[in-house]
A and B are shown apart, each in its own frame.
Chain A
């Protein structure tokens, strides 16, 4: 035994070579690189950056024109160097309006995603980790929300609460909660029986510490994917609500409302419809691609390199 101990002392741990990083346990920098390598991730990252940048430009007051400034001499002008996407029936610059509306849209989508993400993730963790009665209650409640078409649910909520940015966000967010619940619950179910969670319990850590420090950080990947997809859905849902006249009331700019008022003009001024529609498509596409990219980057089975 003593000779073995000498051997251990002589070259023990140093002799063991560190193994390579396993596919799905990587640092943030590596995650970003993996996101950039994935085609959809890169496209999504670029589109989302453009959309966010545009919104920030508007918030900072750096739009080419004052979006709310009307001009009788500039009514329904086509795209030009001065008005990149033309003007609407009040002579307002459509490009500047889109930038402003994008900011509102992102604000609503972000608040909605925050509501859905926080409540849904907590619900999913509770349903997965606690099991039993609590799990049944949470999952049935999620099923009830899930059974109602999301846009119908949002319509009903806005109709009940009245229009406004917060109410829109709430209406859109609630419909997305069940998706977070389900997506988070599945990995929590398998993490619950993971050895390192068992080790944390044997080490005497409290239940909340096990949940928040050991289980939650290991579901960030699926949450990131869902956050992207929820933002895409949020923008689309907000546009739908305001198209139907249930968005934030004027003068708040809104992509859906712009599309709605353009439908009657599209015969004579196609650009009034094209601009806001393209903006919605690009924003929704961007967040969807980003979500796909996150999925590629965090799930080794679908990762292409």
Chain B
């Protein structure tokens, strides 16, 4: 395990008399070196908060993060140089993640110089090398971010992250701000880079279809908590939690033989942001088509139900129900 979290929680203080927001509660994940952990959930489920905590942009309220065998103190605030060499973050909006005043060479070269990764006179060559890794020609070195398309800017952002030679990339919706035609190119680039550099990925997305292409393991989050976790085939083919099923049903089917079936729909979204863990019962209960009496009384815990496949659901835990609804 190269990256792990243990009962990671983040609570934002409520401003102006509003109650505190539990963005993340008790999240434990594990990432093996060179593999991909997909994190799925709708907006407001805490997945971007998780990305910021992993990268060190914010410090957790409770719980801990372990990185390459070392447990980071929960109040380690600024990301250190050592941490930068281990873990890097790729943002959703590539243009806003690049300093508008720096050229591509300045932006990437700065990383090389700050970390003293190459000799001063070799900086240009190394920048060109990094650009080649993300399939951009050397002439891009003089460009400013506003002279790049979304896909090009995201490639530069990835090259800049790779300049620090990290072992882990946290990808926070790296394709969702891009044109559909460019998404596949970036995804293929990420797959290739993982093969070449043995990178570990934490791939965050709201789109289950995007995550399935790349993930070895999938974590489904709902309102700051993990509701389902397991190997990607198990989670996709035999989802245990009704929320995962609803997410899977929302993925458009490209197969014309199957496309005729009307997709199951998510009930109208409730207020998405979790305002507190005060209420008893399952967080998903108000939207859940399978809810039973027990779901309103006690909150389900994440339990391994099928080998390494875990879910936090009372109904799924009942085996009769599980087999009855599988594949639906």
Q: Which residues of chain A have C-beta atoms less than 8 A from B145's C-beta?
A: 25
- Say yes or no: is A12 at the interface (Cβ < 8 Å to chain B): yes
Q: Which residues of chain A have C-beta atoms less than 8 A from B20's C-beta?
A: none
Bound: A147/B147 CA distance, A: 45
Q: Are B148 and A12 in contact (CB under 8 A)?
A: no
Q: Which of A150-207 contact B (CB under 8 A)?
A: 194-196, 198-205, 207
- Least CB distance from B49 to A in Å reads 13
- Among the stretches A47-55, A85-93, A210-218, A235-243, the one at the interface with B is A210-218
- Least CB distance from B201 to A in Å reads 15
- Least CB distance from A241 to B in Å reads 38
Partner of B99, one of A202, A204, A214: A214
Nearest A-chain residue to B96, judged by Cβ: A195
Interface size class of B (residues with CB under 8 A): 35 or more
Q: Are A202 and B149 in contact (CB under 8 A)?
A: no
Q: Are A18 and B84 in contact (CB under 8 A)?
A: no
Q: Which residues of chain B have C-beta atoms less than 8 A from A204's C-beta?
A: 79-85, 114-115, 164
- Say yes or no: is B136 at the interface (Cβ < 8 Å to chain A): yes
Q: Which residues of chain A have C-beta atoms less than 8 A from B83's C-beta?
A: 204
Partner of B160, one of A18, A199, A207, A213: A199
- The number of chain A residues with a CB under 8 A from chain B is 35
With A13-B151, A25-B146, A199-B160: A217-B101 Cβ-Cβ less than 8 Å? yes
Q: Are A201 and B96 in contact (CB under 8 A)?
A: no
Q: Which residues of chain A have C-beta atoms less than 8 A from B84's C-beta?
A: 202-204
- Say yes or no: is A1 at the interface (Cβ < 8 Å to chain B): yes
Bound: A5/B187 CA distance, A: 10
Nearest B-chain residue to A25, judged by Cβ: B100
Q: Are B147 and A199 in contact (CB under 8 A)?
A: no
Q: Are A199 and B189 in contact (CB under 8 A)?
A: no
Partner of B188, one of A4, A14, A16, A194: A4
Q: Which of B224-281 contact A (CB under 8 A)?
A: none
Q: Are A195 and B91 in contact (CB under 8 A)?
A: yes
With A204-B79, A204-B81: A13-B188 Cβ-Cβ less than 8 Å? no
Q: Are A202 and B188 in contact (CB under 8 A)?
A: no
Chosen A-B contacts, 15 in total, with CB atoms closer than 8 Å, are A7-B184, A9-B135, A13-B137, A16-B150, A18-B152, A19-B147, A21-B146, A25-B101, A199-B160, A201-B57, A203-B161, A204-B81, A204-B115, A205-B110, A205-B114
**What are the 4 closest A-B residue pairs judged by CB atoms, nearest first?**
A204-B84, A16-B149, A204-B81, A195-B97
